[in-house]
Structure 1
Amino acid sequence: MTPKVQLPSTGSAAEPGIEALHDTAQRIADNVEQVLVGKPEVVRIALVTMLAEGHLLVEDVPGVGKTSLAKALARSIDCTVSRIQFTPDLLPSDITGVSVYNRQSENFEFRPGPVFANVVVGDEINRASPKTQSALLECMEEGQVTVDGETYSLTTPFMVIATQNPIEMEGTYALPEAQRDRFTARVSIGYPDAKAELAMVDEHAGHDPLGDLRPVADGDQVRQLLRAVRGVHLSTDLRRYVIELVTATRKLPELRLGASPRSTLQLVRTARAQAALEGRDFVVPDDVRAVAVPVLAHRLVLTSEARAARRTASDLVRQVLSRVPVPRGDTDGERR
């Protein structure tokens, strides 16, 4: 078992280290698993995404707990939470906010939309038109909203947790490549096994577990944890390894579009978060490999031939992982 290492102090005495981060993350995970039974891997990716200051896309068929996961993670943190139900008639201003004329002051006043929250739950994001989906682009990438020429900053932490049904379902719009690239990771929950489904029937049939959920962390704690994750060490060899993995996706003949430079940054951030969850203040190759599929797969665009051969983006990422040599040196030996 990997020992937990305390990060060197980089701020005040109250600044948490890796051990405190691990304990807080475990409390959040336990909280979420009260709602999403039997899916620890999905919960892990959700936590990694949060600690990497990213956004999560939850994609699967109806009824497997996509919205429950988003709500459970949001309710586990005592901060501002909003929920947006995406529909075909939703307008961009319904998300970002709108300027309203005040007759008394004879000025326009900005009324913030639901995106002005720490955690934004976007339910069935692919049911809205591409124009409305694009309202989230600036929010997710730059942490700000521009309305009528005025820019408004969003508070930290800021995380979008969006759910969507597969694009083959009726009445949905495929997310544009630019929109998918804004999401740090994508997870698919899948159906529970028989044991987990039996436990769900026994425990959840009589009441809603979300109603019993209480926060186990607050916004200040999350902000401290984000600062701790930024300090996790990543060696030069591992930085090169990340770049080689991303570059390899751009050379695959099965792909029309490989991973973007943004995905390189996201893979580095999630690898740091994964290392912190494992109780380390440095990244090892297994951390990169543990997050590569959820971080890279949804950004890839397959050729029609690859789709006809029933290849998947996840399979291609695993193929790249098997081909790119793993650094064998002392990845913890080079400190900044």
Structure 2
Amino acid sequence: MAKAKIAFYWCASCGGCEEAQVDLADKLFDLIEAADIVLWPVAMDFKKEDVEKVGDGSIDVAIINGGIRTSEHEEMVKLLRRKSKLVIAYGSCAHMGGIPALANAYTRESILKYVYEEAPTVTNPEGKRPKTRVSVDGMDFELPEFLEYLDPLDAVIDVDYYIPGCPPTPEITWEAVSSILSGNLPPKGHVFGSDRALCYECPLNETKPEKVTIDTIKRVHQTELDPNKCYLTQGVLCMGPVTRGGCKALCIKGNMPCTGCFGPVDGVSYQGAKALSYFSSVINIDDEDAFRKLVEEVGVDPLGWFSKYCLGKGTIKRR
């Protein structure tokens, strides 16, 4: 029986998803036994030409992480879509745009101007910027184009399944890969993980009252968290109520609130709007000055509060 063929590729991401794949540890040997890896640029010396040479649909599954920020990303994922039977969006950036999609709050021009002209550490009096094509000593070089905005993977190609997380846990990764390799496929569009909010698996859930109310919002550096008490009841923003479970509450167990990397539960199109709605509903302040102070605290970074990973996915997803 022929082995399945798997391709791994990364786009605009930090490299944490590759670390998560390596964190499969002994399961990597099971994967190698069950499948041939035909593309994994971060670990093996494959070229674009290697993918172009194989037949359309000859790769069983392509696992792609990172958002689409350059013309090279766009070109490669379209190529992999054509060559692959199944495509998995792996990690928060491919799933929803991730943290890199926060740059969508700015235009392409303003980003380039800051990076190459205005940043305090930059010395560039002539305002030079990278060119997509340049010749040096008779040799031609080409760089990818920096696109106007960052998009999640499914805004550019059709995606079959999603593995959430920043990065995904090894358990979620293996659950998805093993189910696909075994042919035990969930419905198309399935997001691996729990179908309930993170609070249901949070070890602090029992300390949360039936009705949560808050009269202040603090950042983690502004208070000393009690590790044995629901963070929301301590006035610290935790995205657990509006985030898909399945991560085993790793951040909570590390004494940090959830920041929402697993995305929304089924049926919620935009996690940021759901989060804003939820936290608005639990505010219990009668004093106008105290309310204004809370609004000012949130207003310092509302996208970072509510849309840290999902800005690329929302209806209102860019400037």
Structure-1-length-normalised TM-score: 0.28
**Higher alpha-carbon Rg:** 2
Q: Name the one with the larger helix percent.
A: 1
Structure-2-length-normalised TM-score: 0.29
Higher RCO (CA 8 Å, separation ≥ 6 residues):
1
